[in-house]
Amino acid sequence: MYKGPRSKFSVVFTLLAVAAVIFGAFTIFRDMQPPDIYISHDGDRINLSLPVTVVAADAASSIKSMEVAVRFQENLVPIVKKEFSGERREELTFTLADSGLKNNDVFDLEISAVDSSFGGLGFGNKNTVIIPMRLDTSEPRMTVNSSVPYVRRGGTGCVVYSVSKEVTRTGVKVGELFFPAFRQENGDYLCFFAFPHYLDTKDFNPLLTALDKAGNQRSQALDVTAMPRRFNSDTIVINRSFLDSKAAEFTVVVPEQMSDIERFLVMNGRIRRANAATLMETGKITTPEMLWKGAFQRMPKAASRAGFADHRTYLWEGKKVDEQTHMGFDLASVKHADVPAANFGTVVYAGYLGIYGNLIVIDHGLGLQSLYSHLSEIGVEPGRQVKKGEIIGKTGSTGMAGGDHLHFGILVSGLEVTPLEWLDDHWIKDNIIDRIKDAGGRSLEFQVNEATAPQVESGRPAPEKPGASDRKPSRRSRMRP
């Protein structure tokens, strides 16, 4: 049969119409998935002032709008609504300050997000998340159960306390430093905290602090007896032979083009600060249990060469070029002497770290760690459990060391404190064990009994008395960090 021009036009029109329908259907139905919704707050309790951030994300379309409301006793109270344009990920931050809710009210938090697709009959795909919650505006209350701690400048304090409700974070705050507490089996919290060496007694004002699941935070003064301590000073002359001996090692750490003395100053300043930050991060790798037992062991048959918090002035060609503080306790023995672990624990760092050279850090639980640096050999790896007296490496002169020795340190949540206290069994009994006993509690009593149980270190010399390191450091202590 003959098909004229009109019939051909009808066929073309039909094909175009079908194509349009297919294209329209593809456009409408290609994105039928609603946005994903994420909320920053974890938990079913919240207060009125806590900022909460909600994120809406869509893989195929941009976010068109987000809305937050509170449903309480069948009433829907709008909190915030915002329109967006162009991005596939959007954020919305809000509080419940204008919700009209009161303490202990139970409600549903409704969060909705709509994308800009042609899904949902042209209105976009919508996702709504409903979270049952309770308003909680009561602050946590803390009660100290141990006796008032005596804390000497540069030393460690111990406190045991209880908290009136579940918390997500609690501990002792000293200035900008935070020392976390660890919950024990009986429900109490045990915290080791430091009196930083750089603070005077009048400036040492520790605070007990706690943050609950709803975002309520409380801080209160911690009653302590702050005791002064004076630290030694020393002058160190930087000579050419030292710079030459360290040139290759320091250049690996500081590869920029500069003179040897400039590179030394970078190591002694910028790298020292970076290393301290690394130790603070390493201090977070700890367990809530007491792993150590009894006094810490001093490296046997070793002479004291420098003390904790010695202030050092560095001279180059007769002029002062730097000032730093020596952290830790330097002990010198024979070359490449065996280095024993000072107490039971788990290795959390084993490697090279700037001014410390080859370094080992052992965690003893509750934020307490020991440090061994300038090693010529490292005999353990992270994760290894060690016993008191076990050989973990050999002394050396790596890092900022001018001669073979051990730089031994004690850290509390990453901050170096004087090691002498932890080498003294009487100090541990008076300032740690007895205070834990004061607080009572079966789980704490068990830890105390374990910590004070007699320890037999087969073939190991008994720890020496630490008092000698309080004397002025010898001139042989040159170039220690």
Q: Would you state the pLDDT for residue 304?
A: 85
- Quote the Cα angle for 362-365-371, to 5°: 25
Q: How confident is the model at residue 339 (pLDDT cuts 50, 70, 90)?
A: very high
Q: Would you state the pLDDT for residue 461?
A: 35
pLDDT one-digit tens code per residue, 350-399: 999 999 999 999 999 999 999 999 999 999 999 999 999 999 999 999 99
Residue 433, pLDDT > 50, answer yes
pLDDT one-digit tens code per residue, 299-315: 998 888 888 999 999 99
Pairwise pLDDT comparison (455 vs 110), residue with the higher score: 110
Pairwise pLDDT comparison (121 vs 239), residue with the higher score: 239
Residue 173 to residue 208: CA distance in whole angstroms: 6
Q: Would you state the pLDDT for residue 432?
A: 94
Over residues 253-282, the mean pLDDT reads: 97
Mean pLDDT (the chain, rounded): 88
Residue 453, pLDDT > 80, answer no
- Taking the whole predicted model, whether its pTM rises above 0.95 is answered as no
Q: How confident is the model at residue 444 (pLDDT cuts 50, 70, 90)?
A: low
Over residues 326-336, the mean pLDDT reads: 92
**% of residues, the chain, pLDDT over 70:** 84
pLDDT one-digit tens code per residue, 173-213: 999 999 999 999 899 999 999 999 999 999 999 999 999 99
331, 329, 344: which is closest to 294 by C-alpha? 344
The pair of three-digit structure tokens given for residue 280, joined into one six-digit string: 């603070």
Residue 250 to residue 403: CA distance in whole angstroms: 16
Q: Would you state the pLDDT for residue 459?
A: 33
Over residues 62-70, the mean pLDDT reads: 96
CA distances from 40 to 46, 92, 131, 144, 147 (A): 12, 11, 13, 32, 39
CB of 38 closer than 8 Å to CB of 57: yes
